[in-house]
Amino acid sequence: IGRHPTPQTGPEPVPGVGRILVVGSGKGGVGKSTLTANLAVALARQGRRVGLLDADIYGPSQPRMMGVSGRPEAPDGKTMQPLVGHGVKVMSLGLLVPDGQAIVWRGPMLMGAMQQMLGQVAWAPLDVLLIDLPPGTGDVQLTLCQKTRLDGAIIVSTPQDVALIDARRAVDMFRRLGTPILGLVENMASYCCPNCNHVTHPFGHGGVRDEAARMGSPFLGEIPLDLDVRMSGDRGVPVAAGEGPIADAYAHLARGLIT
Ligand code: ADP
């Protein structure tokens, strides 16, 4: 009986990709995909070579948010070419399954898909690959953390308690799996009335900063609730691609991620 090589099971880097950052949240709908798209665009504007992998199996919204469509091609029959939007290489499960079709896969299927999206996509050369995770603490997160060398996790939350409780679970999961927590971002805390400039806090304010302090994690900053953020996402041109205070806020967050 011949000797078999020891299987390599530890986390592996993706060849030609400088660093891999995941963006997660406890709850859905707190703005994780919007943050990921805007950070990707902001980093690209800062001269980084950026990729965005949409791994949100429940709501793969990056093709819409990044303004890309069509089926990625694999000229050699093996390696898929990512689509490019706003200077960012984009790959999404949403590009691989027909529109509106649910992704109803068990763990092993998901693991295969994740490995394919990392290993069989022409990402290189990249300075940074951002991964838009599904919300919560499920199979995709587990697979990625165990199989791929992740350089850090960013957790986004609104400041209300129901979101914060789940954000805490997400942080706990990454800690257990050994992925460094880069920090927390507070989304949709402040709303400035466009008519009278009065600022209100529909979901509260400061909760994410407080939670970060309690957990001993960095607080990375906040993005206000703003109609432009929603509308630009819907039309495939993230706010960070333009000018203004919110684009500046995303640029500031992006600069903090890579020093
Ligand atoms: P998640 O990825 O956490 O499910 P999304 O990024 O899809 O959340 O955001 C949910 C909805 O909220 C989308 O319609 C998006 O356009 C909107 N949204 C996200 N962040 C903001 C914000 N800062 N201001 C206004 N709307 C936002």
Q: If you write DSSP's letter for every residue of 36-59 in order, what string do you get?
A: HHHHHHHHHHTT--EEEEE--SS-
The predicted structure's pLDDT at residue 3: 54
Annotated ligand binding at 138? The verdict is no
**From 33, 34, 186, mutation site for ligand 1 pocket: most ligand atoms within 8 A of C-beta:** 34
Tokens of 208: 């994410």
Superfamily of domain 20-257: P-loop containing nucleotide triphosphate hydrolases (3.40.50.300)
Which residue is closest in CA terms to ligand 1's atom 24? 225
The predicted structure's pLDDT at residue 58: 85
Strand 152-157 to strand 17-24: parallel, antiparallel, or no bridges (unpaired)? parallel
- Asked if 123 and 17 touch (Cβ cutoff 8 Å), the reply is yes
- Asked if 224 and 190 touch (Cβ cutoff 8 Å), the reply is yes
**From 52, 193, 230, mutation site for ligand 1 pocket: most ligand atoms within 8 A of C-beta:** 230
**ipTM, interface predicted TM-score of the complex:** 0.99
Q: Where in the chain are the domains?
A: 20-257
Which residue is closest in CA terms to ligand 1's atom 26? 230
Q: Tell me the CA distances in angstroms from 37 to 81, 161, 163, 172, one per residue in order.
A: 19, 25, 21, 24
Report which ligand 1 atom has the smallest distance to the Cα of 223: 23
Question: From ligand 1's centre to the CA of 226, what distance in Å?
Answer: 10
Annotated ligand binding at 25? The verdict is no
Q: Tell me the CA distances in angstroms from 153 to 130, 183, 210, 238, one per residue in order.
A: 10, 7, 18, 21
- Asked if 34 and 229 touch (Cβ cutoff 8 Å), the reply is yes
pLDDT tens, N- to C-terminus, the chain (259 residues): 445 554 445 688 889 999 999 999 999 999 999 999 999 999 999 999 999 999 998 889 999 999 999 999 999 999 999 999 999 999 998 998 888 888 888 888 888 888 899 999 999 999 999 999 999 999 899 999 999 999 999 999 999 999 999 999 999 999 999 999 999 999 999 999 999 999 999 998 999 999 999 999 999 999 999 999 999 999 999 999 999 999 999 999 999 998 7
Cα–Cα distance between 76 and 211 in angstroms, integer? Answer: 48
Q: How many CA atoms lie within 13 A of 254 on its CB side?
A: 28
Report which ligand 1 atom has the smallest distance to the Cα of 225: 24
